[in-house]
Amino acid sequence: MRFIFYLFIFLFTGVIPISAQFGKWQNHTNQSDVNSIVFSKKAIWAATSGGVFGYFDSNRFEQLNLINGLPEIFITSITVDKFDRIWFGSKNGYLTIYDVNSKTTNNIYTIANSVKTKKQINKLVYKDNIVYVCSDFGISLVDVNNLNFGDTYNKLGSFGTDTKVNDIFILDTIWVATERGIAVQKSNRTNYLDPNSWWNFTINLGATQLITYSIEKFKDTIFVGTSSGLYFFNGRNFQALFPLQLTTAILTLKQKGDSLLILLPNGLFAYHNGNLISLFSSGTYFLRDVKYNESGLFIASNRGLIKLKSHSDFEVIYPPGPNSNFFPSLAVDNNGNLWAASGRDVVLKGFYKLSKDGWMNYTTSNYPELGTNAYHKIKITSNNTIWALGWGAGLTRIKNDTLLVRFHRENVNGLNGVVENPNFIVIKGLAEDSEGNIWILNYKVSDNKILARLSKDSVWTFYVNELNPSWIYTEDLVIDQYDTKWILLEKSGQIALTEGVVYFNDKGRLPTTWGIITKEKFGSNPPTCIAIDLRNEIWVGTTRGLFTIANPLRPDDKVYSNYITRLQFINCITIDALNYKWIGTQNGVWVLSPDGSTLIAQYNKQNSPIPDDNIKSIAIDNETGIVYIGTDYGLASLVTLSIKPKESFSKLKIFPNPFYVENGGKMVCTIDGLMKNSSIKILSSSGDLVNEFKTYGGRVALWNGLDKNLNPVPSGVYFIVASNEDGETIRTGKVAVIRK
């Protein structure tokens, strides 16, 4: 299906895939947030919020994501069957079976495609050729031999329909831990689809009914971990064990020899000979699962896979990657490095950089001068200067990757924070003008000075919005070629807001120094994002569509609406090297022609490995054509033809050479080194015109080995003639074609 989609792009837009480069997708996710673990014969496998990884004895990782077979990136549960195949369950109900030997996946969509509102798979348990799928609406049985779904039990006695199931334990009958208590199959019944075939036990602490998370048999007794303590079955009901020592949630129970392992969110205990022994405790790790084998004791946590050696001696294992799966802001520097912010004060993961050497994470643990790990935006200015915008700690300037300077209230006189706390400085936007001055947008600032200018000689100047000093709820900032500052006001806040776009030009190039375009000009839709294209047109995204301010010298003129995106909630807008618009919406990525009149392509979870359809950020490397797409569930990248054209022709690079041509023209020959809007002619060795076409507009063109009649050309040597837009400059090259 994905090949057909790319072929459509090839024929009608020029964005075409070849196995070596163009059209290639990649996923980039953090896999330290581990939800569940299981052992196979050769590895321990971890289900994470960023896919799956296997860790082998040779300290080797094997990673799975959307590129190599997973239908969803957020994996919640994991088990292994008798064939040593790994089973994964996901947040939205997808089941995946991974064959470790053949490296192939098999996906089951039964739950994901069901009409159920809540579909998360909470636990997978394998027993006697059956995988028991514990979900948000019951228990489903899957035969591991033929992968067929059997019964689904969603009426567990008096608990009602679609009760959330967290765990099961299988004896002669099934014991089920649910959000409402324990359900047990009646042994004298055969139809377990009948609610009357189940016993029910609720566990109460005072007036509170407890959630049951885990269930395990230990020394002929059934034990249950609940939302408040450990309970055991005394033959009639459930009774608390250690009522004073363990009063928090117990997430996992696991028998280990003559001990019962008890996993809490912040610690691991062993119940042995009537005593409670602490094995591990931490205030910084949130623990979720525990498994053991001859190689050791392993704990799944939000900060990696913990291999426990002793109470205070442990190793944390996870593959290298970004510090989190949140990508609210992206930017590419002049060296082709991708920079990404993690988010606001809830996320606290700093920011990260992807280079040819892999990921590098910037946090207070390795750079104390950052002051906080709450960085929500990344901007890049001239001289390859990177700016990380903080949520509370001001902003940090990065040069040469490691030279960090943070600007905050203590070292910048006049840089104040929010109304509630002047020391808490939130920087919402940053842009550079034509003279190299850095303009900074301060959010909800206590002295109303929302704009600050840092000159090239390091002098700070502050500005109050003269239209209305109370408009301090700001969202973003861009600067056009006339040095007009366009300020996006926040679309919602703690007080009633004037929603729209404020403009400010201190150079006298507009009729007024300050002005505003209210949301009425945008169809009464609150603006959400803003960008400036290569023609200096202002593009504004709103909660319902895209709009254009065509004449930035006359901001009060007509604002044009974009018909194609009229119903879309626009999160971000990025302009590529050819002036195409990459629009991030809540329904995937929309690529528009330079004037916005034509939909070039759409990318979403159904036709691409984008982790989520709610696109939060897009950045483009204009030198390589790599488009980075950020979501709250990870990052995807796509190699495209959106490459900055040459100012003048260089020697053409033509590859592969020789070029193998087959029926259908599925293979392509790359022609690199072109000027803007070049024309290509394909000539035979005798000088006859075989084919001709216009390029996509950038540095690279592709030929599929077909003639003008869409027939594959015969074997031989062909000349490629490239000319610029006015035909005055020409470059030639040649390629040997071998017809299959």
Calpha distance 78→310 (Å, rounded): 26
Look up the pTM and report it.
Answer: 0.90
- Residue 519, CB half-sphere, CA atoms under 13 Å: how many? 20
Calpha distance 29→327 (Å, rounded): 10
Amino acid 357: pLDDT = 94
Calpha distance 641→446 (Å, rounded): 46
Cβ-contact 378, 339 below 8 angstroms: yes
**Residue that the structure tokens 């990344």 belong to:** 378
Q: Where are the domains of the chain?
A: 31-126, 653-739
Q: Three-state DSSP class for 264?
A: strand
DSSP string, 295-334: TEEEEEETTEEEEESSSS-EEEE--S--S-S--SEEEE-T
With a CB cutoff of 8 Å and minimum separation 6, the contacts of 257 are: none
Closest Cα to residue 679, out of 740, 730, 715, 632?
730
CA distances from 536 to 214, 312, 479, 551, 676 (A): 60, 59, 10, 8, 18
How many degrees, rounded to 5, is the angle at CA 537 between CA 639 and CA 528? 75
How many degrees, rounded to 5, is the angle at CA 265 between CA 259 and CA 269? 20
Mean pLDDT by 10 residues, the chain (740 residues): 35 35 89 97 96 92 95 97 97 97 95 96 97 97 96 93 96 95 91 92 93 96 96 94 82 96 96 92 94 94 94 92 97 97 93 96 96 97 96 95 93 96 97 97 96 96 94 95 95 65 94 93 94 96 96 92 96 95 98 95 95 97 95 96 85 91 81 89 93 84 91 94 85 92
Amino acid 247: pLDDT = 82
Helix and strand counts by DSSP (H, E) for the chain: 1, 66
**Residue that the structure tokens 């047109």 belong to:** 537
With a CB cutoff of 8 Å and minimum separation 6, the contacts of 717 are: 685, 734, 735, 736, 737
CATH number of 31-126: 2.120.10.30
- pLDDT digits over 461-518, tens only? 999 999 999 999 999 999 999 999 999 998 765 454 678 999 999 999 998 999 999 9
Calpha distance 740→325 (Å, rounded): 45
DSSP string, 142-190: EETTT--EEEEE-B-GGG-BT--EEEEEESSSEEEEESS-EEEE-TT-S
Calpha distance 581→590 (Å, rounded): 8
Amino acid 394: pLDDT = 96
H or E element in which residue 3 lies: helix 2-12
**Dihedral (CA of 714, 719, 720, 721) sign:** negative
- pLDDT digits over 56-78, tens only? 988 899 999 999 999 999 999 99
Calpha distance 107→37 (Å, rounded): 19
DSSP 8-state secondary structure symbol assigned to residue 115? S
CA distances from 440 to 6, 383, 390, 498, 562 (A): 41, 18, 12, 21, 30
Calpha distance 315→336 (Å, rounded): 34
Q: Please state whether beta strands 659-661 and 730-739 pair in parallel, antiparallel, or not at all (unpaired).
A: parallel
Calpha distance 671→598 (Å, rounded): 26
Q: Please state whether beta strands 538-542 and 287-293 pair in parallel, antiparallel, or not at all (unpaired).
A: unpaired
Q: State the fold for domain 653-739.
A: Immunoglobulin-like (2.60.40)
Cβ-contact 426, 464 below 8 angstroms: no
| DSSP 3-state percent helix, strand, coil across the chain (nearest 5) | 5, 50, 50
Arithmetic mean of pLDDT over the chain:
92
With a CB cutoff of 8 Å and minimum separation 6, the contacts of 272 are: 258, 259, 260
**Residue that the structure tokens 């626009």 belong to:** 570
Tokens of 289: 């699962």
What pairs with residue 123 in β-bridges? 134
Tokens of 676: 């803007």
Query: For residue 385, how many other CB atoms are within 10 A of its CB?
Result: 17
Amino acid 190: pLDDT = 83
